[in-house]
């Protein structure tokens, strides 16, 4: 039996949900009963790797063979983790986490058809890398979906509402805020903003810095110097072991402070015992700048949506870090009412992803074995997403007055455009007899025209027809699909068409051969 599932591939924790016989999403625990699994991989020697709780337990004893927070490196697939003489890409590490989730859900049958969630602010390369990771893990990836959208889908499935909704998603490593217009079972995404390096782990790090400052007094070892944090990662193993011990205790203290006014961080390092008291007020002060950043991004998202705070009807909290009382207090002060807490912030994204997986399965035409009950349930909710970036192309023109070529970024797809969509830019050759055409695809968060301040994500050098006269027409078409992936086609002056796959760099881009090698590499490991 093939099971339709959604996977929340998180920075610190991951979860898998599957559709039951009547189309309702349910969290699938691992073999130990954990409903969420730490997104941590520990290489155990030979062909064995630990993923999850067991891997997390090795952080303080064997940090050099442990990888965590890999989601933050998905923008750089050329990055390598060097462990025991072998190198692993972020995509391969992510695949091992996905394989753990897949392999431990065998009680449901064969989990192959999945949707994987990504932060709303993820760019082209991060989305591609996430999909590649799923394929390497042996999954049939139906697509990716934005985490706040998935949470909204699950929220709507419980009790359809009408009004403007903000999904505030503060997870372990990333932050997203999304503004949606909801009408019964219809969801229209209006705007999203986010930060890929803002989440619970950053709060843990602030607490750890606080603990180190106190440990200098309690322990007095030279390790606890002003440059302690400069030793991670890749520095002293002793420093790393101590750091991860402190980080673990900081995470525990953070969770305690969500329920109490004070906590004490206690533990043993290689150099002695420490005991660090912390109040909720002290903790809130430590993370205040991070929370201010989320509020600024919230304001930006509302501006993009053309709404003000008084036009928002509900605020939905997603992500484990939203359990921090200060988050709710800040949002209540901002909107004038308390945020909604009816859904589990750790599980909502995976549950919504399972529903989206069902929708994608039916849409792809692969729903032959899908029951009528499941069809009816997953089709209750419709979703209209929007582009989260500006996409353009670099073009040149002759400045006759100055007698020189001028370059600019021409926007083809605007942020906020409803997707899937297709837009065409009209260009022309610059001079008689031009032989080559350079197509450069750009991606940016704002509407930028200066070529020096945009991110180039694709480039092709194309042959033009012989004796091509000046001002010959060139049509460049961008198609932006429901996975928020870009397709590019170029119509040359002679009517010939070129279609290009975005290519990032020789090392980071995975072609079919690379995918086979990575799949074999991951498949060779026994994931425990």
Instruction: Give kind and range of the element (H or E) at residue 158.
Output: helix 147-158
CA dihedral 451, 454, 460, 463 (to 10 degrees): -20
Q: pLDDT at position 506, please?
A: 46
Q: pLDDT at position 444, please?
A: 93
- 179-229: pLDDT as tens digits: 999 998 899 999 999 999 999 999 998 998 888 777 777 766 665 666 666
- The residues pairing with 117 across neighbouring beta strands, listed in sequence order, are 145
Distance of alpha carbon 443 from alpha carbon 26, whole angstroms: 37
Q: pLDDT at position 515, please?
A: 87
**Residue 36 φ then ψ, to 5°:** -130, 150
Distance of alpha carbon 228 from alpha carbon 224, whole angstroms: 6
CATH numbers and ranges of domains, the chain: 200-288 (3.90.640.10), 390-495 (2.60.34.10)
Q: What value, to the nearest 5°, has the Cα angle with vertex 371 and ends 369 and 377?
A: 130
**Residue 323 φ then ψ, to 5°:** -75, -15
The pairing of strands 186-195 and 382-386 is: parallel
Q: Are 176 and 199 in contact (CB under 8 A)?
A: no
Q: Where are the extended beta strands (E) located within 70-229?
A: 81-83, 86-88, 110-118, 140-146, 161-170, 175-184, 186-195
Q: pLDDT at position 81, please?
A: 92
Distance of alpha carbon 79 from alpha carbon 65, whole angstroms: 16
Q: pLDDT at position 246, please?
A: 81
Distance of alpha carbon 444 from alpha carbon 458, whole angstroms: 13
Give CA separation, 319 vs 308, 324, 346, in Å.
24, 10, 5
Q: Are 193 and 377 in contact (CB under 8 A)?
A: no
CB count in 10 Å sphere of residue 235: 14
Measured over the CA atoms of residue 500, residue 505, residue 509 and residue 511, the dihedral's sign is positive
**Residues of the chain scoring pLDDT < 70:** 1-2, 106-109, 219-236, 267-271, 398-403, 503-509
Q: pLDDT at position 400, please?
A: 66
Helices (H) and strands (E) in the chain, counts: 12, 28
Measured over the CA atoms of residue 241, residue 245, residue 250 and residue 251, the dihedral's sign is positive
Q: pLDDT at position 366, please?
A: 74
Q: pLDDT at position 264, please?
A: 85
pTM score of the predicted model? 0.93
Radius of gyration of the chain (CA): 25
- 312-322: pLDDT as tens digits: 999 999 999 99
Give CA separation, 193 vs 10, 123, 289, 363, in Å.
18, 12, 17, 28
Q: pLDDT at position 245, please?
A: 81
Q: Are 371 and 21 in contact (CB under 8 A)?
A: yes
Q: What value, to the nearest 5°, has the Cα angle with vertex 169 and ends 166 and 171?
A: 170
Q: pLDDT at position 225, please?
A: 64
- The residues pairing with 3 across neighbouring beta strands, listed in sequence order, are 111
CA-based nearest residue to 65, from 89, 40, 91, 94: 40
């Amino acid at each position: 039996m093939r099971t339709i599932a959604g996977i929340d591939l998180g920075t610190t924790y991951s979860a898998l949900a599957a559709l039951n016989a009547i189309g309702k999403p349910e969290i699938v625990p691992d073999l130990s009963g954990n409903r969420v699994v730490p997104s941590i991989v520990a290489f155990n020697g030979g062909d064995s790797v630990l993923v999850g709780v067991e891997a997390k337990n090795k952080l303080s004893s064997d940090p050099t063979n442990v990888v965590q927070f890999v989601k933050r490196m998905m923008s750089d697939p050329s990055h390598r983790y060097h462990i025991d003489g072998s190198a692993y890409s972020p995509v391969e590490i992510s695949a091992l986490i996905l394989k753990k989730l897949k392999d431990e859900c065998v009680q449901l049958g064969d989990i192959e058809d999945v949707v994987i969630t990504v932060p709303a602010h993820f760019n082209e390369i991060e989305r591609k890398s996430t999909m590649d990771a799923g394929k390497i893990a042996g999954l049939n990836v139906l697509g990716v979906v934005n985490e706040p959208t998935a949470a909204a889908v699950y929220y709507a499935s419980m009790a359809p509402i009408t009004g403007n909704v903000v999904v505030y998603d503060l997870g372990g490593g990333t932050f997203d805020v999304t503004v949606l217009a909801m009408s019964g079972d219809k969801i229209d995404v209006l705007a999203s903003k986010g930060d890929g390096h803002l989440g619970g782990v950053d709060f843990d790090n602030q607490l750890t810095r606080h603990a180190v400052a106190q440990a200098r007094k309690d322990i007095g070892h030279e390790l606890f110097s002003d440059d302690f944090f400069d030793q991670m990662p890749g520095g002293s193993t002793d420093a790393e072991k101590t750091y991860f011990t402190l980080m673990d205790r900081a995470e525990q203290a953070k969770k305690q402070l969500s329920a109490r006014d004070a906590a004490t961080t206690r533990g043993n390092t290689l150099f002695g015992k420490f005991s660090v008291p912390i109040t909720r007020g002290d903790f809130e002060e430590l993370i205040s700048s991070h929370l201010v950043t989320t509020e600024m991004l919230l304001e930006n998202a509302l501006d993009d949506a053309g709404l003000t705070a008084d036009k928002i009807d509900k605020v939905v909290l997603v992500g484990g870090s939203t359990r921090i009382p200060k988050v709710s207090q800040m949002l209540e002060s901002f909107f004038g009412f308390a945020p909604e807490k009816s859904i589990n912030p750790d599980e909502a994204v995976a549950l919504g992803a399972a529903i989206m997986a069902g929708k994608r399965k039916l849409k792809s035409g692969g729903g032959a074995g899908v029951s009528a009950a499941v069809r009816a349930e997953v089709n209750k909710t419709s979703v209209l997403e929007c582009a989260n970036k500006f996409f353009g192309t670099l073009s040149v023109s002759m400045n006759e007055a100055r007698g020189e070529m001028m370059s600019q970024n021409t926007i083809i797809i605007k942020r906020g455009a409803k997707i899937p969509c297709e837009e065409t830019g009209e260009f022309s050759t610059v001079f008689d007899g031009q032989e080559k055409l350079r197509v450069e695809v750009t991606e940016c968060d704002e509407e930028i025209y200066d070529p020096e301040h945009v991110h180039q994500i694709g480039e092709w050098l194309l042959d033009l027809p012989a004796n091509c006269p000046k001002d010959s027409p060139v049509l460049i078409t961008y198609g932006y699909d429901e996975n928020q992936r870009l397709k590019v086609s170029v119509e040359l002056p002679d009517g010939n068409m070129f279609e290009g796959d975005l290519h990032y760099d020789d090392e980071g881009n995975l072609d079919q051969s690379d995918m086979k090698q990575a799949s074999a590499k991951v498949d060779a490991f026994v994931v425990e």
